[in-house]
Amino acid sequence: MRVESSTLTAPLTGGARLIAVDGLVKRFGQVTALDGVSLALDAPATGLLGANGAGKSTLMRLLLGLLRPDEGEVEVLGVDASRDAAEVRRRLGYMPELDCLPLEMTARDLVVHMAELRGLPRRDAVLRASEVLFQVGLEEERSRLIRTFSTGMKQRAKLAQALVHSPELVVLDEPTNGLDPSGREEMLALVRRLSSELGVAVLLSSHVLEDVTRTCDAVVVLRDGRVVTSGRIDEMEGLAGDGVLVRATGDLEAFAGRLEARGLAARRRDGGLAVSGAPEDALLDGVRDAAVDAGVALRELRPAGPTLEDALVDALE
Amino acid sequence: MSSAGPPPAARTADAEIRDVRYGTYTGPRRGRGAAVWSLARWGALRSLGARRGWKAKAVPITLILLAVAPAVIVLGVRALFADQTGIDLSDALPFSGYQAIIGVVILLFAGITTPELLCPDRRDGVLQLYFSTAISRGEYLLGRVIGAIGPLLLVTMVPMLVLYVGILVFEEHPVAYLEEHWAELPRIVGAGVILAVYYGMVGLAVSSLTGRRAFAIGGYLLLLVAPTVLSGLLQEAFQGAEELDLVALSTLPIGFAGELFPDARDDIPNSLWEYALAYLVVVGAATVVLLRRYRPGSEA
């Protein structure tokens, strides 16, 4: 499936879209990195999903005005990114994927310096650095040289510098790269807080589906430089109206009979029963009670409709 | 025993409680000039080893002390012995010859400090962070050039200013000395700037070619010292070929700056304009290298 143009939710602020891209083409020699990408993003947090080489980083660099498109238009926060890149970069924060931190600086000095580069007076830069380092959990390590940091701490420092000037939009390129499981959990929680509590819109790139589903409201999937699908995550996941798929051990015929006796529709599917015919709460109560009545043990209960993963796999195939 | 101090409410507040929760910043925002200044300031501090261990500070500080040492020694000798001996030490160390005396110190100082401004940014990938802000590549370079020249003035200009002020202080009639020698001040400043710009730009140009400090230091010394040695050998072979002095790249700006002082002109081969031309060629080449290395689309 190829989606030429997509609009994700209503605009967030002031009517201006966070990101609007139309017919974007970017080539590097013979390689076409982006091939006619059109998007309009307004969700508080949007995930950019795709395998390595799908065009995520190229799209981000175009949004930042670091590259010029060969064709098409890029508008970020209502500003033409290819014409006024400096204004775009002044208003957003960027957390690069690769190593980019000065190893011989302390975290505090780095964040103060980056705040000054973004126009904050020195005194304000120092205060903001303290605030943002506290928010990312680096307040205790602020005076340590970055070369002594773990990977997780470096990722936090990268995030802190991206937030220090109070950006309207923060662009995060693979923020969980290289993190161990606990570090990843903490980073994902932090990213989710940006849009849900701190009021900063997020554009996150990742090749890990779970990173996107846990932190974002909408998703854009890229493959070979094209948008293959996009939309709100809750709309792409299975809906309650699609019913549930139940797998159980025991007499499935009796189980199906008990379900139908409760006014629910049950049909065989994938070695289990697809059950529908009632709102979500009543449906789940009916399945529970019918299982008890039929004396079967539930082994699996999940939405019968396609999951986000199903939808994305379908889109990528 | 109770304290006799003022009650808490009457004390001047020396601490305050701040809310460190993340909020939207609504304060003033400065222009791009402030960003350039920030790059220059942090770069200069880094090149001098500030906020790092003593090892990083030791070499630059030692070289600064060595650069000032001749002035301090002459002034000290004058203060202690001039009255007894009757020797006029104001001519013992002329301003025109000061930079030649500490030429090696200036050369080494620039070799040590200028790579600190560019090499770590390339090595650590910091450029992508800088260029994700509103600053342009040209502004980045301008900040780094200022950050290189500022510390260099500590060894090219400040020692001569120390000497000038010291002489002024020890003079019996300081005002008369100032009236007679005021013209030395702009010459001192000019000579200091000439050397700082030259060594700073060459050092930065070489540093822009590599992310490794050791290579930058080695390349810089090789670039400046090798032609100087060659020039010396050729002058031995071709007596009287004073033009060869213009390719002695490590001493070229010292000869140029010396031409600013009238008392030294007769002792320096070649004319002011010949030096100026050679100087501009070298500084221009360094500028071209820097601009090419940081042009849009380059690896930087």
Tell me the pLDDT tens digit for each residue of B16-71.
665 556 778 888 999 889 999 999 999 999 999 998 888 889 999 999 999 999 99
Q: What are the tens digits of pLDDT across the range A50-88?
A: 888 889 989 999 999 888 899 999 999 999 998 899 899
Q: Please, which residues 16-45 of chain B have a Cβ atom closer than 8 Å to chain A?
A: 18, 20-31, 34-35, 38-39, 42
Which pLDDT does position B68 carry in this prediction? 96
Length reported for chain B: 300
Question: Exposure of B97 by Cβ count < 10 A (0-12 exposed, 13-18 middle, 19+ buried)?
Answer: middle
Which pLDDT does position B12 carry in this prediction? 56
For residue B45 the two structure tokens come to: 């501090």
For chain A, give the mean pLDDT: 86
What is the amino acid identity at position B257? A
Nearest to A74 by CA among A15, A7, A6, A20: A20
Strand A71-76 with A79-80, pairing: antiparallel
What's the pLDDT band for A268 if we cut at 50, 70, 90?
confident
Q: Please, which residues 281-300 of chain B have a Cβ atom closer than 8 Å to chain A?
A: none
For residue B191 the two structure tokens come to: 């000579």
Which pLDDT does position B177 carry in this prediction? 87
Angle (deg, nearest 10), helices A181-196 and A151-163:
10
Which pLDDT does position A181 carry in this prediction? 87
- Give φ, ψ of A208 to 5 degrees: -105, 115
Res A1 pLDDT > 50: no
For residue A173 the two structure tokens come to: 């390129």
Nearest to A183 by CA among A141, A142, A136: A136
DSSP tag of A10: S
Which pLDDT does position A16 carry in this prediction? 62
Percentage with pLDDT > 90 across chain B? 60
Q: Which residue of A has its CA nearest to B24?
A: A166
Gap between the Cα atoms of A154 and B169, Å rounded: 53
Question: Exposure of B99 by Cβ count < 10 A (0-12 exposed, 13-18 middle, 19+ buried)?
Answer: buried
User: Phi/psi zone of residue A80: left (φ > 0), alpha (ψ -120 to 50 degrees), beta?
Assistant: beta
| E strand or H helix at A274 | strand A272-276
Q: Does the beta carbon of A80 lie under 8 angstroms from any beta carbon of chain B?
A: no
What's the pLDDT band for A186 if we cut at 50, 70, 90?
confident
B chain contacts of residue A101, beta-carbon cutoff 8 Å: 124, 126, 129
Q: What are the tens digits of pLDDT across the range A200-235?
A: 999 999 888 888 988 999 999 998 899 988 888 877
For residue A178 the two structure tokens come to: 């290289």
Res B217 pLDDT > 70: yes
| Option in A99, A134, A198 nearest B20 (CB) | A134
- Give φ, ψ of A46 to 5 degrees: -120, 135
What's the pLDDT band for B1 if we cut at 50, 70, 90?
very low
DSSP tag of B90: G
Q: Which residue of B has its CA nearest to A111?
A: B129
Beta-carbon contacts of A203 under 8 Å, excluding residues fewer than 6 positions away, are: A18, A19, A41, A45, A46, A48, A60, A63, A169, A170, A171, A172
| Option in A117, A161, A199 nearest B135 (CB) | A117
Q: Decide if B42 and A163 are in contact by the 8 Å CB cutoff.
A: no
Asked if residues A207 and A131 have their Cβ atoms less than 8 Å apart, the reply is no
Which pLDDT does position B90 carry in this prediction? 61
Q: Does the beta carbon of B121 lie under 8 angstroms from any beta carbon of chain A?
A: yes
Q: Does the beta carbon of B63 lie under 8 angstroms from any beta carbon of chain A?
A: no
pTM of the shown model: 0.81
Question: Exposure of A270 by Cβ count < 10 A (0-12 exposed, 13-18 middle, 19+ buried)?
Answer: exposed
